Structure 1
Amino acid sequence: MDILSRLIDLAGLRTSLDIRCRLEGAFEIDHEPAGRGVIPFHVVLSGNCRLRLPDRRVVELTAGDFLMLPRGEAHLIVGRESGAGPRPVRLTHDGMLPVRENGEGAPDVDLLCGHFNSATGSSSLLLDTLPDVFHASLAGAQSEETLKLLVGVLRDEAMHQEAGALTIATAICLALLTMALRAQNTAALGTAGLLALIANPRFSRALKAVIANPAEDWTIDRLASLSAMSRATYARQFKETSGMTVAGFVTDLRMTLASDLLIRTRRTVADIAAEVGYDSEAAFGKAFKARRGVPPARFRQQMV
């Protein structure tokens, strides 16, 4: 399994589509802060609108855009400016989802709104390094045609509402997240994180090795050698690119993999400790508690 697929799998995301918005003219849709483990997202099927944040940042959204708020920040979806106030919004149902509408003609924006639930105890290693507003535009993306295809299928399922439409649309939203993350690998996110590491061929080579064999003795020297860099250069550029130290990343990844094994398997703590690179259960337990706040056995009990 490739790095990005593995990280998304470890995040334990479950997709829910909440509502479809077909709106025109002036409108303002308020979204309260999301609860813990809830990650709102929006997919623009057609047209355009704006997303406004409490700090007055404004994000322009257009057809084919995918936007996610990893920290669940409150936000407004707003229409074009006009002299008139927002039109009254009515709630109907299209057979697949509830629908917000405020007009009778062709909408200025057709928007799917949903959220990802991150399973309790799952890894947030990838999500925590994303910006507060993760916005993937089709413009200039290497995967533009595929993203367009996915959005087109979403639009068709929402329009035709045939049997199984909601299941198909929900699955496509997770695929769209993956495509958006991949498309942003080569884009300037303006923040350090795992996507930047994955996008760098030298760092990604080392990441693959650690994920594939977490029990190995992954020193900075070994990882630097895999990346054809000096130890000092590797350590410095890794920190600049990811926002993490090499040792901190290796430990976080090992604890992420250990958490997954504790939740999904009945293997002993000692076995899991060895699997992720610890010679003793005691050393593993100390490192795990430092990252998760509870010992491994207690963590497993809480997650069952």
Structure 2
Amino acid sequence: MDALSQMLALIPVSGRLDVRCQFGVPWRIEEPVTAYCDIRYHVLLTGAARVEDGLGPAQLLRPGDIVLFPGGAPHTLHDGSGLPPVPATVDTAGHVAVVSSGPDGTGTDLLCGRFRVPAAAQPLLLQHLPARLVVRSAVQDIDGRDGAQVLAAGSRLSRLIGLMREEAHEQGPGSEALLNHLSAALFGLALRLASLTDAPPPGLLALARASPLRPAVEAMLAQPGDDWSLRALAARCNMSRATFIRHFTVACGASPSVFLLGIRMAMACRQLVDTRLSIAAIGEQVGYRSDAAFQRAFKKHLGVTPARWRADARAAQSSAAGG
């Protein structure tokens, strides 16, 4: 299994489409800081939009573009005119709310929603994705070693966006659930396409792209409980220890040890919720030879003991099921 597939299997992200926006000029969307577990996304179907978030220069979006905010940063999308937005109306009659403004509300069409990251995977995922990620599904003819793969990934993402647009427009039986499932697929396809670009941002996307590092990354994801030394990981990549550390740190933005710790903690969190294994047994599964060492590492990484994390996570599950 490749690194991105392993990561998506370890991190079962769900999706939700919140609203469809149909705007005439001028328009503006203001999004506040979001919860740590949520990654806001916006898909531009038609028209144009500018994104501002204080994280870098404003960015122009074209039809077929998706923008994600893994860090939960407040952000603004607007038409770029600088004019006060026209007051919008909200139609909540269907499964998906529709916000519209302007004379016909058809100049710019957006789908806005969120990806929900399970608590177990938040540190691993959110620390290794950029604070703002723009993915362009309308891929033009490109050269390079992965040109065919990029074009195929862009085509699949475009078709998924088209299906989401149809479901959001027709709102037939089951549309709400289908749109949420399609949103989850949108996350995986967007990350795939982003990882195939010539210069993916440091973190998970660059690691998925970095062929020389792939054997080590896939080994850590497949067998996080093994006693991995830097020398053993470097050997899998046919590199010296120093060269491996240098290349890995540049690609990931963190050391191999930090990345492995994130994988181990994400797996431990899932085991704490999904199984009745003892804390010591879970610690051993993710590479700790003593319960005390696992307890210390877990609390340092997540701020609470494994027992407290298990109790809180199960209480949250029960509350969500009851609500």
Show the counterpart of 1:186: 196
- Any residues of structure 2 matched to 1:230-245 within 5 Å, and which? 230-245=240-255
Superposed CA RMSD: 2.0
Which amino acid letter does the alignment assign opposite residue 158 of structure 2? K
Match of 2:3 in 1: 3
1:34 aligned partner: 34
In the alignment, what sits opposite 2:101? 102
Alignment of 1:65-214 (within 5 A): 65-81=65-81, 85-93=84-92, 95-105=94-104, 107-138=106-137, 139-140=139-140, 141-142=150-151, 143-187=153-197, 191-214=201-224
**Residues 109-118 or 45-54, more deviating:** 45-54
Larger deviation, residues 100-109 vs 212-221: 100-109
Q: Point out the more displaced range, 235-244 or 288-297.
A: 288-297
1:39, 1:72 within 8 Å by CA — same for their partners in 2? Answer: yes
1:13 aligns with 2:23: no
C-alpha contact 1:131 1:189 (8 A) present in aligned 2: no
The whole-number CA distance in structure 1 between the counterparts of 2:186 and 2:43 is 9
Percentage of identical aligned residues = 32
When residues 146 and 133 of structure 1 are mapped into structure 2, their CA distance, relative to the original with a 3 A threshold, is: same
| Residue segments in structure 1 that go unaligned for 5+ positions in a row | none
Change (3 A) 1:286 1:215: same
Deviates more, 1:216-225 or 1:35-44: 35-44
- Alignment partner, residue 45 of structure 2: 45
The secondary structure found in structure 2 opposite 1:157 is: helix
Q: What TM-score do the two structures reach when normalised by structure 1? A: 0.92
Return the alpha-carbon distance in structure 1 between the equivalents of residues 94 and 308 of structure 2. 44
* Correspondence for 1:299 among 285, 309, 313: 309
Deviation per CA, 1:64-106, whole angstroms, max 9, x where unpaired?
1111111111112211427x64322111236221111113436
Q: Cα distance, 1:185 vs. partner? A: 0.9
Moved over 6 A (4+): none
Instruction: Measure how far apart 1:265 and its partner are.
Output: 0.9
Change (3 A) 1:106 1:291: closer
Aligned partner of 1:270 among 273, 280, 305:
280
Paired positions, count: 303
Looking at structure 1, the residues matched to 304 and 174 of structure 2 have their Cα atoms a distance apart, in angstroms, of 42
Q: Which moved more, 1:6-15 or 1:224-233?
A: 6-15
Q: State the Cα distance separating 1:159 from its structure 2 match.
A: 1.6
Q: In structure 1, what is the Cα distance between the partners aligned to 2:255 and 2:154?
A: 33
Question: Which TM-score applies when normalising by structure 2?
Answer: 0.87
Do 1:15 and 1:117's aligned partners in 2 also have CA atoms closer than 8 Å? Answer: yes
Counterpart of 1:212, as a letter, is A
Cα distance change, pair 190–122 in 1 and its aligned pair in 2 (3 A): closer
Map 1:281-296 to 2 at 5 A. 281-296=291-306
Q: What's the offset of the Cα at 1:188?
A: 5.2
